[in-house]
Amino acid sequence: MTIFALSTGPGISGIAIIRVSGVETKKVIKLLTNGTIPEPRIATLKKINKINSSELIDEGIILWFPGPESYTGEDMAEIHVHGSKAVIDALHASISKIENCRMAEPGEFTRLAFQNGKINLLKAESIADLISAETEIQRQQAIKIMSGKSADKFNELRGKLLKILSNVEAKIDFPDEDLPDDILKEIKKNSNYVLQNIEKILDDQKVGERIREGFKITILGPTNAGKSSLLNCLSNREAAIVSEIAGTTRDVIETHLNIDGYPVIVSDTAGIRESKSEIEKKGIKLSLNRADEADLKLIVVDAKNLVISDVLKGLLDQNAILVINKLDLLEEDIDPEIKKLNHVLISIKENLNIDQLILKIKKNLKNKFIKNDNILITRERHRQHLKQCLNHLKSFNEKNEVDDFDKAAEDLRLATRNLGMIVGKVDVEEILDSIFNDFCIGK
């Protein structure tokens, strides 16, 4: 089946690109242009007509990519036309009339690229991440994964496991022959190397997932300190209701923001105070739960009433910034003990020192999470496969110590399979190739 779809964004634009992939691609081009197929990978201006008609749809560029040298690995074409809804609809309607042609499903072109061996699963995921990236740090992470750094590392570790597995399989196939000492030492060395590398990769504070999904920032503090105003200030919009009436915010209000290139999810919470209202108590409980889940806490207090409750003092740890609001109303210097805390003085009303607060937020996240560029895990799927691989590898090492090769081999197969599933590669033939290359079986 040949698929087609609009590959550029919907809506009016200067240019729209319709992508076609499959065995009927040549036929689609011929029928639309009433002419010959363009030279491969050369932009060619063509008149594009309705199927079985001389009625002109538009004049545009045709790019022809014969398989397998194409993005999907199949015959593929891109049709560049003017980006009006009428032109796109007319083109889609014409292509759909051609036998064995249908609209593509979401992600189907990239899925074909993966199935046809043009890209691995990590690169397919990074393409999706790049398309959805909203901040600079998200774009950078997607590009790094696309470059193949993660895939290279996982394939390297998998290659070492395949090497071990070929040795173990040989021992099972030839039980009367002892493995040489140097091979036994190599098995132990490689298994420990892979195990230690996976443990190091997993010990990453889930930075990759945080960058993809957004760092969690929770705004906390007493009532009327300016928490909702701070959310609105950071959002540059009225995301939360602001009122002089204490306890206006009862539920958690979330907004996704780009703070100086960092993706964050900022939560405005109910004011923390003693309350007899059951609804407000539930709101305060939600606030404290969000504080536990947060990557960074912004504890907002009023400069005129600078009393920090015991509950808030308990939240002022290394993952918190004390935000002293209403600086414009401050008549005397703040307490020296408070000055010792990680704090910033601001005035939301007068827009004072907001840039300093943003700088502190960014610095805190960078110091805590972005310590190096060696981020290999960007999805929970990767993490779960690595954890399973680690468990099977530990089990292999335990069984290998007592020379229980049959059971040890199964753990090793499962460990190898889980590593392979990260990049989308699971192929038992590789084990056989390794055996025949490294052992003279027929000797």
Three-state helix/strand/coil letters over the chain: CEEEEECCCCCCEEEEEEEEECCCHHHHHHHHHCCCCCCECCCEEEEEECCCCCCEEEEEEEEEECCCCCCCCCCEEEEEEEECHHHHHHHHHHHHCCCCEEECCCCHHHHHHHHCCCCCHHHHHHHHHHHHCCCHHHHHHHHHHHCCHHHHHHHHHHHHHHHHHHHHHHHHHCCCCCCCHHHHHHHHHHHHHHHHHHHHHHCCCCHHHHHHHCEEEEEECCCCCCHHHHHHHHHCCCCCCCCCCCCCCCCCEEEEEEECCEEEEEEECCCCCCCCCHHHHHHHHHHHHHHHHCCEEEEEEEHHHCCCCHHHHHHCCCCEEEEEECHHHCCCCCCHHHHCCCEEECECCCCECHHHHHHHHHHHHHHHCCCCCCCCCCCHHHHHHHHHHHHHHHHHHHHHHCCCHHHHHHHHHHHHHHHHHHHCCCCCHHHHHHHHHHCCCCC
The pLDDT score that the predictor gives to residue 403 is 65
Residue 228 marked as a ligand binder: yes
Rg of the chain over Cα atoms, rounded to whole angstroms, equals 30
- 269 and 350 share one domain: yes
User: Each residue of 48-74: pLDDT tens digit?
Assistant: 999 888 899 999 999 999 999 999 999
Distance between CA atoms of 156 and 168, rounded to whole angstroms?
A: 19
> 268, 219 in Cβ contact below 8 A?
yes
Q: Does the structure show a pLDDT above 90 at 92?
A: yes
Number of domains comprising the chain? 3
- Domain presence at residue 137: no
Q: Is position 235 within any domain?
A: yes
Domain CATH code at residue 25: 3.30.1360.120
* Amino acid sitting at position 401: E
182 in a labelled binding site = no
The answer to whether 107 is annotated as binding is no
- The CATH number for 222's domain is 3.40.50.300
For residue 107, is it left (φ>0), alpha (ψ between -120 and 50) or beta? Answer: left
Task: Report pLDDT for 246.
Answer: 44
**Residue 226, annotated as binding a ligand:** yes
In this structure, the answer to whether residues 261 and 349 fall within a common structural domain is: yes
pLDDT score of 372: 62
Q: What is the pLDDT of residue 240?
A: 45
Question: Is 247 annotated among the ligand-binding residues?
Answer: yes
- For residue 434, the model assigns a pLDDT of 44
Q: Which residue has the higher pLDDT, 202 or 260?
A: 202
Residue 52, in any domain of the structure: yes
Q: Does 400 score more than 90 pLDDT?
A: no
What's the confidence (pLDDT) of residue 375? Answer: 81
Task: Judge whether 19 is annotated as a binding position.
Answer: yes
Residue 246 known to bind ligand: yes
Please name which of 426, 387, 411 lies closest in space to residue 198, comparing C-alpha atoms: 387
Residue 71 and residue 170 in one domain = no
229 among the known binding-site residues? yes
- Is 434 marked as a binding-site residue? no
Contact, 370 vs 207, CB < 8 A? yes
Identify whether residues 266 and 169 lie together within a single domain: no
Q: Are residues 9 and 106 in the same domain?
A: yes
pLDDT in tens, 328-365: 887 777 778 888 888 899 998 888 999 999 999 998 88
Burial (CB count <10 Å: 0-12, 13-18, 19+), residue 227: buried
Does 25 belong to an annotated binding site?
no
Q: Is 269 annotated as a binding residue?
A: yes
CATH number, domain with residue 153: 1.20.120.430
| The token pair that represents 94 in the structure block | 């014409």
Residue-range definition of the domain harbouring residue 81: 2-114
Nearest residue to 188 via CA among 159, 158, 168:
168
Judgement on whether residues 52 and 109 belong to the same structural domain of the protein = yes
CA torsion angle 402 406 411 412 (round to 10): 100
pTM of the predicted structure, to 2 decimals? 0.78
Residue 139 assigned to a binding site: no
257 vs 403, higher pLDDT: 257
Tell me, yes or no, whether 140 lies in a domain: no
Q: Kindly tell me if the per-residue pLDDT of 250 is higher than 50.
A: no
Query: Which tokens hold the place of 31?
Result: 């029928």
Domain contains 158: yes
Is 244 known as a binding-site position? yes
pLDDT score, position 180: 66
On whether both 91 and 173 belong to a single domain, the answer is: no
Task: Lowest mean pLDDT of 11-15, 137-141, 251-255, name the range.
Answer: 251-255
Q: How many CB atoms lie within 10 A of CB 93?
A: 12
Domain endpoint, select from 324, 341, 368: 368
Residues 363 and 228 reside in one and the same domain: yes
pLDDT tens digits, one per residue of 217-229 = 999 888 888 888 8
**Does 314 carry a binding-site annotation?**
no
| 329 shares a domain with 414 | no
Looking at the fold, whether 39 and 158 belong to one and the same domain comes out as no
Same domain, 60 and 170: no
Domain boundary among 368, 389, 418: 368
Say how many C-beta atoms besides its own lie within 10 A of residue 52's C-beta.
11
118 is in an annotated binding site: yes
- Alpha carbons 218 and 200: distance in angstroms, whole number: 29
pLDDT at 60: 95
Does position 197 have pLDDT exceeding 60, yes or no?
yes
pLDDT above 50 for 376: yes
Kindly state whether residues 396 and 292 are assigned to the same domain.
no
Question: Which of 280, 266, 322, 277 lies closest to 299, judged by CA?
Answer: 322
142 belongs to a structural domain: no
Give me the pLDDT at residue 70, please: 95
Phi-psi domain of 114 (left: phi exceeds 0; alpha: psi -120 through 50; beta: other): alpha
Report for 6-15, 88-97, 249-258, 400-409: range of highest mean pLDDT? 88-97
On whether residue 225 sits in a domain, the answer given is: yes
Q: For residue 126, is it within any domain?
A: no
The last residue of a domain, from among 342, 368, 394: 368
